[in-house]
Each structure stands twice: as structure tokens, then as C-alpha cells.
A and B are shown apart, each in its own frame.
Chain A
Amino acid sequence: KAGVTQTPRYLIKTRGQQVTLSCSPISGHRSVSWYQQTPGQGLQFLFEYFSETQRNKGNFPGRFSGRQFSNSRSEMNVSTLELGDSALYLCASSEGVGTGMGETQYFGPGTRLLVL
């Protein structure tokens, strides 16, 4: 099976703009999670979607939002970009059938966002 794919891989935006990142999970996986990775804060959980519903959410401001489509593909959106939003955004998928049973998450290569 193909792995988790993320597009675009690199993105440069300016402060105040908005951005949409896309994630295609492994075929058959229904759960998609998003993480932000920065040198200072490390890896932080943004949110998780299953069957088009957000099940879990991390401690990020409302500028960060996401959604999931019926084919399990997911997008995340960041509005009114700030310099501190510069990061590697990682998407991970899992089967999702064992809710909360510690299923292995498979990560994509990430989208590197630079905000100028």
C-alpha cells in the first residue's frame, strides 16, 4: 500500500495570509491526526479526525482548523498566519477501528511551512 502523502511539501507564506495543507491517509485508514513540529516546542498534537468528525483536539488557537472528507482525506487550515506558525506539519493515519486502543500511527513526510 502507498504510505501517507502530504501536499504541498514546502510552502512559503507571509504574515496574515491563510494556508491549507492536505493529507491522504493509507488506504483503508479512517483516522487522521495532525501534529506541529518546531525546534522549540517539539511535536505537538493539533487534532484528530475519524469518519469526518473531530474526536480530539490539542491546545491550539482557533486559527487552526481541519476537516476530513468521506474518503478519509484530511485538510488543515491556518488562518491569519503568524511568524510562530513556521513549522513542519505532520499528518498521521491509523486504522481507527480500535478506538483509543493505541493503534500505531503512520506518519507522512510533512509539509514545511515558512511564514515571512
Chain B
Amino acid sequence: AQTVTQSQPEMSVQEAETVTLSCTYDTSENNYYLFWYKQPPSRQMILVIRQEAYKQQNATENRFSVNFQKAAKSFSLKISDSQLGDTAMYFCAFMKRGSQGNLIFGKGTKLSVKP
């Protein structure tokens, strides 16, 4: 069975600074997908970034980028130039190829961006 671990329950960062959220996962699968989702307070969950395991190039989306280390089974999220609107719970998630709709989530990291 696959597991996803986020070792940082809470983090804080000053506005405009950079922060990195950690995620490790355990799987025997070779083909899978990794995601970071953001859940702002009392708002719905939205996708931040998506990574295909067979692609070595790290995904980026504007201020958000990942460091994907397949051999180490690590998938960290870097947020550059943090903004107050980045305050949210961040969930790392795993999906095995062929298992559509079945996201396995980590417990989440609560990120607070301070002015």
C-alpha cells in the first residue's frame, strides 16, 4: 500500500520570503503521479502543482516549484515570494497510474504567511 508523509504539521514564513514544504512517499509502483493541493481556510481545495513520475524535469507553476527526487521518494514544494494569500493547508497527494480518482493524501502542512 502507498503512504504519503508530511513531516511538518505547521510552518510559518514572512511575506516575500521563500519556504519549502516536505513530502515523502512510499510505493513499489514505478508509474504514478504526485500532486500538491492547497486548502485555504473555509475554502475549497485547489491544485497547486502536478508531477508525472516518469518526467525527470521538476514541475513549476509561477511562484510554485517542486523538487522531485524519485529514488529518494521525495516531493517537496517550494513557494517563492510568499504572499498572504498563500496561507492555507497544503496537502501532498499520490495517485497510482491506472487508479483514477484515488488520491492518497498526506496529513497536511498548515502554512501561515506573516506580514
Contact = CB atoms under 8 A, between A and B. Distances in A.
Interface string B98-115: 111111111110000000
A48 B101 contact: yes
Contact of B103 (A45, A98, A110): A45
Contacts, number: 72
A90 B101 contact: no
A94 B100 contact: yes
Interface in A93-107: 94, 96, 98-107
Interface in B32-68: 32-33, 35, 37, 43-47, 50, 52
B44 A101 contact: no
A100 B100 contact: yes
Interface of A: 3-4, 31-33, 35, 42-45, 48, 50, 55-56, 58, 90, 92, 94, 96, 98-110
Given A102-B52, A102-B95, 13 more contacts: A32-B101, A33-B101, A35-B103, A42-B106, A45-B103, A48-B101, A96-B100, A101-B100, A102-B32, A104-B47, A105-B47, A109-B43, A109-B44
